[in-house]
Structure 1
Amino acid sequence: MTELRRRMKEDLQLAGYSPRTVASYIDTVRVLANYYHRSPDLITEDEIRQFFLYMINERKSSASSITVYLCGIKFFYETTLKRTWQIFDLIKPLRTKRLPAVLSPEEVRIILKGITHPVYRIALTTIYACGLRVSEGVRLTVSDIDSRRQLLRVHNGKGGKDRYVHLADRPLELLRDYCRQHGIVTGFLFPHKDGHISCENLQVAFRKAVRSSSVDKPATVHTLRHSYATHLLESGEDIRVIKDLLGHTSITTTDIYTHVTGKIATRLHVNLNGMMDNLQP
């Protein structure tokens, strides 16, 4: 590890960034250095400008990708190298708000049924049943299950936050059967070798099940989380409750699900018709 890389890593750790963000930000500086084939402390402000123009115009990078690069590179130059450059205030990626793909309950059942690996199947089932992020799901431990209160503890979620989510009767029953069959008493709920199953392997298994199913949607494991939230909203659950279950900081993040649920649109149409029936020409 180079001295600059070590210093940046330590600066990020002192600033309270998660290990995943630390690795991501360090990688952005590595890509920048490789682009110019020299140490990042020798790169000029104008060259950084040209690098981001390359990302926007040639690589056609998404707004979220550019934001990650901006945050990582800006941290390196402003915090580690103590250089304040105006270019970092100029770069403002154009954000687009795309609606997520959502599976129907029947489509969820079809895909989960196509997962042949028993550990992957129960892991994906739990992710859907509790609206988890894939990184939260793979790290679950046996002690995270509170059977008496029917709660699942999500440890160190996005932003380093813990939360509890409700565990319905059927998922709890499936988890109990799974633990008995596999002799899992302590440790990771979904073990693999010396740790837990990986996010990557779970994604591969899910994509394979989608491809072999009759479901024609661009679904990933994260789609299960979107579907969970949408199904709760369609069932009449309060959006503020859904916000807390998902671990969102702001209600505006959860509001996206009001735009993707067909049942709410149908109910709105009926309500509007009822309101407008007596309008006079």
Structure 2
Amino acid sequence: MYYLFIHFLYIANGMSVRDFMKILEVKRYSDNTINSYASIVKLARHFFKKPLDQINETELHRYFYFMVHTKKVSYSYQKQIALALKLYYKEMFNKNINLEFLFPARKPQKLPVILSKKEVMLLIQNANNAKHKCMIALTYSAGLRIGELLALKIRDIDSDRMVIHIRNAKGNKDRIVPLAEKIVGKLRSYYKEFLPKEYLFEGQKGGKYSASSLNKLLKLAAKRAKISKNITTHSLRHSYATHLLEKGTDIRVIQKLLGHNSIKTTMIYTHVTEPTLLNITSPFDDL
């Protein structure tokens, strides 16, 4: 059935990015991956001004040089470009191209931006309305990725069992995380005021709330709260994990709560909350 579907796409009116997205949907890639890969392909097609099946590997190398040295893309995005284009050529043209050697040789070890508990409260207090306050509070209280928060449906909040059911998260995995007691009342008040129909947080015209709007409202709340740190919604997730670790929560429990496949990913938080380092007194204080 899958190969019949692919054949249909080939004989349709040319190969479009939408066709690529349909293939990824059939192969059960996550919505976030599909949208990210589609965006990367669109940018590449715009750069070359011609179909990608007419591009040779030398031209692709030139494109990578442009993205790294002119656009200054991050390590992770550089790797994502290579993975997306490699998959696009494979699925759309049945062509294997070697782009792995264009992965950065070493990932920079940058520590995540962490908010204090006081700063988290200031963010929530300085949000515009009950919806914005709940979005920030829920993201932090459950350590959610932005896509996980925006994909939540009303039925995913189980106040009887006090859990949140996160569906089709990164890697197409479901997981259960605790629902904070203090947020239940806030969610009920928000629900009565805004009456969402399907998704827990919806845009003005219904449907999912947009990621760009969420990041924008977070920046505005940070500005009003006079928080100068360069934060994103992911900073709330980082802060959740760090605060759990500071409370003595086992690192493997945090791994499960965050939905990390590898403990190595979770270990980054040990670098920002190492007790033996944080409790060191500076010799300046002895002067």
Which bracket does the TM-score occupy, shorter chain normalised? Answer: 0.7 to 0.9
Q: Which amino acid is the alignment partner of residue 47 of structure 2?
A: Y
Confirm whether residue 154 of structure 1 aligns to residue 166 of structure 2.
yes
- Where does residue 218 of structure 1 map in the other structure? 230
- Mapped partners of 1:251, 1:13: distance in 2: 29
SS of the residue 2:176 aligns to: strand
Q: Aligned equivalents of 1:244 and 1:264: distance in 2?
A: 25
User: Are the counterparts in 1 of residues 30 and 170 from structure 2 also a CA contact under 8 Å?
Assistant: no
1:259 aligned residue (265, 271, 274): 271
2:81 aligned with 1:90: no
Tell me the distance in 1 between the aligned counterparts of 2:31 and 2:226: 38
1:141–1:189 CA contact under 8 A, matched in 2: yes
Aligned mates of 2:52, 2:71 — CA distance in 1: 20
How far does the alpha carbon of each residue in 1:117-164 deviate from its partner, in whole angstroms, 9 at most, with x for none? 211111211111111112211232222122222111112211221111
Counterpart AA for 1:85: I
Q: Distance in 2 between matches of 1:77 and 1:186?
A: 40
Distance of aligned partners of 1:28 and 1:188 in 2 relative to their CA distance in 1, 3 Å threshold? closer
Match of 1:75 in 2: 87
Q: Which residue identity does 2:133 align to in structure 1? A: R
**Residue type matched to 1:111 in 2?**
L
Alpha carbons of structure 1 residues 22 and 84: separation in structure 2 relative to 1, 3 Å: same
Classify the secondary structure of the residue corresponding to 2:168. Answer: coil
- Contact 1:191 1:197 (C-alpha < 8 Å) held by counterparts: yes
Q: Unmatched 5+ residue regions in structure 2?
A: 1-11, 282-287
1:164 aligns with 2:185: no
Question: What is the match of residue 249 of structure 1?
Answer: 261
2:139–2:236 contact (8 Å) kept in structure 1: yes
Q: 1:264 to 1:182 in 2, by over 3 A?
A: farther
C-alpha displacement of 1:100: 0.5
Identity among equivalent pairs (%): 34
CA distance in 2, matches of 1:207, 1:68: 26
More deviation in 104-113 or 155-164? Answer: 155-164
How many matched pairs?
Answer: 267
Code of the aligned partner of 2:97 = W
- Secondary structure of the residue aligned to 1:191 is coil
Q: Measure how far apart 1:264 and its partner are.
A: 5.8
Q: 1:210 to 1:11 in 2, by over 3 A?
A: same
Give the counterpart of 2:77 among 54, 57, 65.
Answer: 65
Shift of the 146–62 alpha-carbon distance from structure 1 to 2, 3 Å rule, reads: same
Pairwise CA distance, 1:182: 2.0
2:138 is the alignment partner of 1:142: no
- Cα separation, partners in 2 of 1:73 and 1:146, compared to 1, 3 Å: same
Return the alpha-carbon distance in structure 1 between the equivalents of residues 13 and 151 of structure 2: 31
After alignment, is 248-257 or 164-173 more displaced?
164-173
Instruction: Determine if contact 1:258/1:264 at 8 Å carries over to the other structure.
Output: no
Corresponding letter in the other structure for 2:102? I
1:101–1:223 Cα contact (<8 Å) kept: yes
Structure 2: how far apart are the matches of 1:56 and 1:2? 34
SS in 1 for 2:115: coil
Candidates 200, 203, 215, aligned match of 2:215: 203
**Rounded Cα–Cα distance in structure 1 between residues aligned with 2:89 and 2:66:** 19
8 A Cα contact 2:114 2:239, kept in partner = yes
Match of 2:193 in 1: 182
Secondary structure of 1:4's partner? coil
Calculate the TM-score normalised by the size of structure 2.
0.84
Per the alignment, do residues 48 and 101 of structure 1 end up closer, same or farther by CA in structure 2, a change over 3 Å counting? same
2:40 to 18, 28, 34: 28
Separation in structure 1 between the aligned mates of residue 278 and residue 110 of structure 2, nearest angstrom: 21
SS of alignment partner, residue 222 of structure 2 = helix
Pair 1:52 & 2:64 matched: yes
Please list every run of 5 or more consecutive structure 1 residues that lacks an aligned counterpart in the other structure: 271-281
Aligned equivalent of 2:55: 43
Aligned twin of 2:3? none
Instruction: Identify which range, 47-56 or 235-244, moves more after superposition.
Output: 47-56
1:218 Cα deviation from its structure 2 partner: 0.9
Give the SS at the match of 1:108: helix
CA RMSD of aligned residues (A): 2.3
